[in-house]
Structure 1
Amino acid sequence: MATYLFALFAWTLPLALSPLREEGHGKFVLIIFSITFAMPALAMGIFRSMGTIDSVLMHTRRERIVPFLFTTALYATLTYMFYTRTGVRLDDNLFRFMLIIDALIVVGTLLTLFWKVSMHSLAAWGFTGIMLALNRLTEDGSLFYPLICSLVITGLVMSARLQLQAHSMREVTAGSIAGLLTSFAGMVFLF
């Protein structure tokens, strides 16, 4: 979801990626994809081969703890490295969005320590919560259609998790509420 969010920003709202210059947006999105999707996916294979998890589907809450802690550390490291290595400041939009994404990952990991919530729902509603707040902040309405698309996709994600019986209604709802509240609160607090 982080890749989708930053790709959408690069395409429709380049100001959200300040202080990065527009010619660097493609490279930034590729880095985000590599660190937030490719590396965790590779780690899942490693965790599976080491016996840490039985399946990449991680059917039990207990199986999810180590991979989620790893992913949390990965996201936090990415944010720290961008802050220390690129000149991004605390008041830059890019850093604020990265903090919100980190908060979503931390909340999901903390919830996983006690309960198996749907991280797909948490991430989808996290994306939608950011879009809701940004749509309100932008005056030109450039994010209205992406917001509508995110609402439809979020509904599809939640339905898929239920249809696949990967989660119960309670787990999907808890992930949804956690994602929406975390992202919207982050937007209100940081912007």
Structure 2
Amino acid sequence: MNTPAHLLIGAAAFARPSYGRTLRAVLIGSVLPDLSLYLMAGVSLFILNIPEQVVFGQLYYSDAWQTVFAIDNSFLVWGLALGVGVWLRARLLVLGASAGLLHLGTDFLLHAGDGRAQFWPLSNWVFHSPISYWDSAHHAQWVVLVSITACAVSYIALWRRGLTLPTKIFFAALLAAEVWVARQWLLFF
């Protein structure tokens, strides 16, 4: 699933109230599993000037990158964070960890051939889903419809919670980004 979708769906599911520290905790939890990819790819592409084919054809699948992805996409790490949050009665940690786990759950189901080891440090096993959020050879054309519908429903739910105008614009931009990125995946893959 694309990152804008994770942010929209995570916020709709867990950000009550949908402002302030609660919203920030949920957005951080929703984005953290993807953050390392953005940082490593961004540095590789724009600072080190490594060709896109190398970044996404070689580096993405390298042991070093996959180790980083295994850590920040581990159900065990995020489950531990949730457990600590519950134990400490730290509501913001519980919300952020819950959003992170929702992110991992959808990724687990929607990565065909590009999944991550989500049970680190106990296992490097990777589930290869028959369904992909971006690859038309693995039903992406259907996933896109479901994803965009879920994002639109999430946006409506968030809107109805009385968001401030800047927050409404932020979530509208995420919805537009999700539609644009989903369109790109279908056109090119």
Give the TM-score normalised by the residue count of structure 2. Answer: 0.45
Greater relative contact order structure (CA < 8 Å, 6+ sep):
2
Give the TM-score normalised by the residue count of structure 1. Answer: 0.45
